[in-house]
Amino acid sequence: MAQDTDVIIIGAGVGGLVLALSLYQAGIPCRVYEAVRDIRPLGVGINLLPHATRELDELGLLPTLDAIAVRTRESVFYTRHGQFIYGEPAGIDAGYDWPQYSIHRGDLQMALLAAVRQRLGDDSVVANARCTGVTQDADRVTAHFQDNDGQALPPVRGRIAVGCDGIHSVLRKQCYPQEGAPRYSGVNMWRGTTRCKPFLSGASMVRAGWLSTGKMVIYPIRDNIDADGNQLVNWVAEIDAAEPAVRDWNRSGRLEDFFPAFADWHFDWLDVARLIQDADSILEYPMVDQDPLPTWTQGRMTLLGDAAHPMVPRGSNGAGQAVIDARYLTGQLKRLGLTPQALQQYDRVRVEATTRVVLTNRSNPPDAILREVHERSGDKPFARIEDVISREELEGISRRYKQVAGFDPAALKERASFV
């Protein structure tokens, strides 16, 4: 087990690794402790919206992202009949100073891990160290660990402990031992990646259909993966379901459990049914979140990312909020020192901000556009979208989510740096 440090980071996911890079930038010693024996590139696609890429730009990571991700150019919405509903430019094309990226979560994690080890040293990330709890006194915290064979490891002392340990967070359970079960939204999702030719702009994020009959989210996450110019395309299928799937990000899914809803999705711009059938692998997950907590902080210990605010993945915003948590927390530690007061200031601002996002993702995320059209059209083809809903209403739904989530273009450009 590595030596003591100032900030103990529990978890080497996106939030924990961005926190390590940010603390290093601020001159604050830290070390990351990860439960798994070997850190491997797991998961499927995620999106990094401009409010998150602004923070990664301040860490000097945009050239790395450009090498491994797709710069998203547009966000578009279709019915399950393949009819166009609404589209708007994304990232740089929408007038932001920062791009939007579609990326494989594993690629992002490995890139962040490499940057941490390069900048902080090879011993900055300790694997096979499962946190079992944190104790503290007025001045210090002590994190307790065991390896994956159940053997106790030497405890680590620090001045601050941050739980970045995801949806099954040990630190969250320690702080809220009586917390209830996850809140099931009534929707299960299946996720996969498929190798195929580019579609639409070649950098489009597509949302289509609706949950009662089947909804899809589709976007490329790697360019030019072979000599034929194919892309790796991420897709998510979502359907209303009475019972939730098992809450495990890496649980395999079965094609027969959801494919019938999409078997006739053959659009002139993409054969969605074939895309699903040609998947490299399929993962299954319930659309769940947790009710927002009143506070993430106890003394010298706090939470970050999914450990703090697990949200229904409907706004392409979970990873982005973890990045912003990490940067804002670093700014407070830099300004107020490694003190409970810094954690309380982080808590006051970020609990309120992410609570708004969690609740909006439940009711009116960007794909509420699909709900409105599905309900108003009776799920039937239409002659003109303007006969169903006005462009002004569609723009309003999109604009309100940007404001809640913190990536309204003007506000993002004017905001001071966190660190």
Whether 1 shows a pLDDT value over 60: the answer reads no
Query: The domain containing residue 124 runs over which residues?
Result: 7-47+105-181+299-364
Please state the length of the chain: 419
Task: Tell me, yes or no, whether 266 lies in a domain.
Answer: no
pLDDT at 61 over 80: yes
Please say if the pLDDT value at position 35 is more than 90.
Answer: yes
The 3-state DSSP class for residue 171 equals helix
Q: What's the CATH number where 35 sits?
A: 3.50.50.60
Q: What are the tens digits of pLDDT across the range 293-329?
A: 999 999 999 999 999 999 988 878 889 999 999 999 9
111-129: average pLDDT: 98
Look at residue 41 and tell me if it is in a domain: yes
Q: Give domain status of residue 176, yes or no.
A: yes
User: Residue 405's pLDDT is what?
Assistant: 85
How do residues 349-384 score in pLDDT, each as one tens digit?
999 999 999 999 898 888 999 999 999 999 999 999
pLDDT band with cut points at 50, 70 and 90 for residue 2 = low
- The whole-model pTM stands at 0.96
Helix %, strand %, coil % for the chain, to 5? Answer: 35, 25, 40
Residues of the chain with pLDDT > 70, as a percent, come to: 100
Establish if 371 belongs to a structural domain: no
Instruction: Establish if 120 belongs to a structural domain.
Output: yes
Mean pLDDT for the chain? 95
Mean local confidence (pLDDT), 122-147: 97
Is the model's pLDDT at 181 over the cut of 90? Answer: no
Domain count for the chain = 1
Q: What is the pLDDT of residue 313?
A: 83
